[in-house]
Amino acid sequence: MRQSAKFEPVRWAAAAMAMISALCAGTLFLYLAVQSVPVFRARGWSFVTGSDWVAGEVYGALPMIYGSIMVTGLALILALPFALGSAVVTAEFLSSRSRLWVKSLMELLAGVPGIIYGLLGVSILTVLVRDSLGLIDGNTLLTAGILLAVMILPTIMTLSEDALRTVPREYRETAWSLGLTPMTTVFRVVAPRALPGVVGAVFLGLGRAMGETIAVMLVIGGLDRIPQPWYDLAAPAQSIPSKLGREAAEAMGSDLHWSALVGLSLILFLMVMGLTLAGNLFLRRIR
């Protein structure tokens, strides 16, 4: 590195930028913690465990937490076969040119704005779900789960593919030279070695699914209740981001209501951060 004079202006300007960038992350968390204090003080632990939410009266986050978890889990189950299948095919069986094409398609998919998914959901998917399941209303956990699955597919696919490519070529060559078929090589030699990376990819995908607002908001049904029975995916429900999106504008004036929303944000933040940190750990991006 360089041994430059301590008072180079460029150095300090760059340092300032780095500070701003770093502070953004830290300040965010602080604000969340501080601003949610009122609602926790008013409601205590029942904020997290309560199931009723009436603005101005009572605030319970459980239905939203439940909805977030359900919809995220469903998205994962639906996306995983496609994401991992494509990752295996792309990493192991495609030429480098084809690989570039696939990765480009994935990047495009990842860039589709959430509102477009929302539009597709509202206009087409809800109708499809409603008609094929014989429901009154197509705004359900299932609908939101399907949309989310498409949204997190590129994330999981790309990162898993990277993980597979990281496995050294020698592994494959040794297996082939012993007469193992390509498929067996992939499943028995390459995939086990790439497993941490794939797990990381899944965690990051989950984090992304959990944080998605607009698409989910439009199709999940907006009902602040845990469905009866709890595994009824064809029922309307509510996720945390969806709730935030719906009520943020209303709550702007009111102190407790706003604090409740910030409290929800804190819970969401902690869940997403947990998933993201775990994911990055597995991907070895942080030690």
Partner 1 sequence: MMNNRTVERATLGGLLLLTLGACSLPAVILGTVFVKGLPAIDWAFLTRESRDFGAGGGIFYQTLGTLTLMIGAAAVSLPIALGATLFQTEFLDSKPIKQVLRLLMYSLNSVPTIIFGLIGYMFFGVLLQTGVSWLTGTLILAVMILPTMQMSLLEAIESLPLRYREAGRAMGLSAWQEIKSIVVPQSFFGIVTGTLLGLARAGGETAAIMFTATVFSGVRLPSSWTDPVTTLQTHILVLAQEAVNPQALTNAWGAGLVLLALVFVLILGSLALRARWPMEAER
Partner 2 sequence: MKEQTDALEMRGVSIHFDDKTVFQDIRCRFRPLAVTGIIGPSGSGKTTLLRTFNRMNDKIDGFRVRGQVFVHGREIYTNGVDVSRLRRKVGMVFQKPCIFPKSILDNVVFGLKHLHPERHREFPDLAEQCLREVFLWDEVKDRLRRPGHTLSHGQQQRLAIARALIVKPRALLMDEPTSALDPKSSRAIEELIVSLKEKHTILLVTHNLEQARRVSDETVFVCEGRVCETGRTPDLFADPHCRETRDYLEQGN
Residues found near partner 2 in the complex (CB under 8 A): 95-96, 168, 170-174, 176-181, 184, 188-189, 193
Angle at 133 between CA 128 and CA 135, to 5 degrees: 90
104 contact, one of partner 1, partner 2, none, CB 5-8 Å limit per kind: partner 1
* Ordered DSSP codes for 241-284: HHHHHHHHHHHTS-HHHHHHHHHHHHHHHHHHHHHHHHHHHHTT
CB nearer partner 2, residue 146 or residue 191? 191
Identify which of residues 81 and 179 has a Cβ nearer to partner 2 in the complex.
179
Which of partner 1, partner 2, none sits in contact with 1, Cβ below 5 to 8 A by type?
Answer: partner 1
Beta bridge partners of 221: 237
Q: Are strands 58-59 and 53-54 parallel, antiparallel or unpaired?
A: antiparallel
Say which entry of partner 2, partner 1, none residue 173 contacts (CB below 5 to 8 A, set by partner kind): partner 2
- Our CB check for partner 1 shows the closer of 214 and 232 to be 214
The CA–CA distances, whole Å, from 190 to 41, 164, 173, 213, 253 equal 52, 7, 11, 36, 56
User: Considering the complex, what minimum distance in angstroms separates the CB of residue 85 from partner 2?
Assistant: 20
* Closest CA relative to residue 242, chosen from 37, 53, 57: 53
Binding partner at 223 among partner 2, partner 1, none, C-beta below 5 to 8 Å by kind: none
| Residue 178 binds which of partner 1, partner 2, none (CB < 5-8 A, kind-dependent) | partner 2
| Nearer to partner 2 among residue 79 and residue 88 (C-beta) | 88
List alpha helices for the chain, DSSP H: 9-35, 37-43, 46-49, 62-93, 96-111, 114-120, 126-133, 141-166, 169-177, 182-185, 191-211, 214-219, 240-251, 255-282
Q: For residues 195 and 273, which CB has a smaller minimum distance to partner 2 in the complex?
A: 195
Report the residue number, 193 or 225, with the smaller CB distance to partner 2: 193
- Measured over the CA atoms of residue 157, residue 163, residue 169 and residue 172, the dihedral's sign is negative
CA distance 75 to 69: 10
Q: Rounded to the nearest whole angstrom, what is the least distance from the CB of residue 19 to partner 1 in the complex?
A: 8
- State the binding partner of 177 from partner 1, partner 2, none, CB within 5 to 8 A by kind: partner 2
Nearest approach, Cβ of residue 96 and partner 2 (Å): 6
Residue 284 contact among partner 1, partner 2, none, beta carbon within 5 to 8 Å by kind: none
Cα 250 from Cα 238, distance rounded (Å) = 17
CB of 181 to partner 2, least distance (A): 5
CA distance 47 to 256: 12
Find the shortest distance in angstroms from Cβ 228 to partner 1. 27
Smallest gap from residue 199 Cβ to partner 1 (A):
16
Quote the least distance from Cβ 183 to partner 2, whole Å: 11
Distance CA 101, CA 99 (A): 5
The nearer residue to partner 2, 180 or 234, going by C-beta atoms, is: 180
